[in-house]
């Protein structure tokens, strides 16, 4: 099974987040392409943003999975958005992916396998994390401080969100990690020695029937996180019948988490 092909879920209340990469969605003025406005930050040059309906005092940076684009998740963020929060959904660069026979596709870093012991693209993971940190810095320069920025992502995007937050010196508002894992897990907790996020809240969600990244892998990640950050700040939720996708119950939990960690000010 190719990893980019997110399995459609026909079970109760579940839906797929697979999107055609070339799809572009614009809903009035709330969903906008950031093309040309942020050339100093490469990932912002073509990112999709879901704007707030009032003064934006917080931001969620949400990263898609392998082979996807930011457009589909921007649609999802629109459905759960809060009026004072801006949602930024960048697109991963197109690179050859070892796991998919070196096919070129949107990917935050190279993937060699999906097991805990698979070789990892250390240089690519670290480079991708720095690119996400550049977005955080950009938001801070434009009036939204790091402690009002939350990272999130699905699958490979969730993995990158976790790694970025745990190696970020700035204090962040939290992380939403959906159907994912912690990259370079053997380097922790040492890799987080200078992090400002040891007390950071993390919402980790996983489908119990995920055939690509088994829920056991998610549980192992949750246990690893407990020795890196305050274990009382970690919430790990699983969803019966859910495969490598998302469902309304999960997205309701995501919205509740964002509301709690990024309240109006």
Which residues are catalytically annotated? 155, 210, 244
Q: Are 59 and 148 in contact (CB under 8 A)?
A: yes
CA 48, chain centre distance (Å): 14
**DSSP character string of 166-183:** HT-SS--SEEEEES---T
Q: Cα 3–6–7 angle (5° rounding)?
A: 115
Q: Are 240 and 208 in contact (CB under 8 A)?
A: yes
Q: What span, in angstroms and rounded, lies between the C-alpha atoms of 129 and 9? A: 30
CA-closest candidate to residue 83, choices 57, 63, 62, 61: 57
């Amino acid at each position: 099974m190719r990893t980019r092909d997110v399995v459609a879920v026909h079970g109760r209340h579940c839906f797929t987040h697979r999107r055609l990469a070339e799809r572009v969605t614009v809903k009035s003025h709330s969903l906008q392409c950031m093309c040309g406005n942020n050339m100093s930050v490469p990932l912002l040059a073509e990112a999709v943003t879901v704007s707030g309906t009032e003064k934006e005092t917080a931001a969620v940076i949400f990263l898609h999975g392998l082979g996807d684009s930011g457009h589909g998740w921007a649609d999802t963020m629109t459905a759960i958005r809060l009026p004072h929060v801006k949602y930024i959904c960048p697109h991963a660069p197109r690179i050859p992916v070892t796991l998919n026979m070196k096919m070129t596709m949107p990917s935050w870093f190279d993937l060699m396998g999906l097991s805990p012991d698979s070789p990892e693209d250390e240089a690519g993971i670290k480079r991708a994390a720095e690119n996400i940190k550049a977005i955080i810095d950009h938001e801070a320069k434009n009036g939204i401080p790091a402690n009002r920025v939350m990272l999130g992502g699905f699958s490979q995007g969730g993995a990158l969100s976790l790694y970025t937050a745990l190696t970020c010196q700035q204090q962040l508002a939290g992380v939403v990690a959906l159907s994912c894992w912690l990259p370079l897990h053997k380097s922790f907790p040492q890799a987080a020695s200078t992090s400002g996020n040891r007390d950071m809240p993390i919402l980790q969600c996983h489908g119990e029937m995920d055939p690509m990244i088994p829920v056991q892998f998610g549980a192992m990640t949750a246990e690893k996180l407990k020795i890196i950050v305050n274990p009382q700040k970690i919430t790990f939720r699983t969803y019966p019948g859910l495969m490598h996708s998302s469902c309304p119950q999960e997205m309701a939990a995501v919205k509740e988490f964002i509301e709690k960690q990024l309240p109006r000010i």
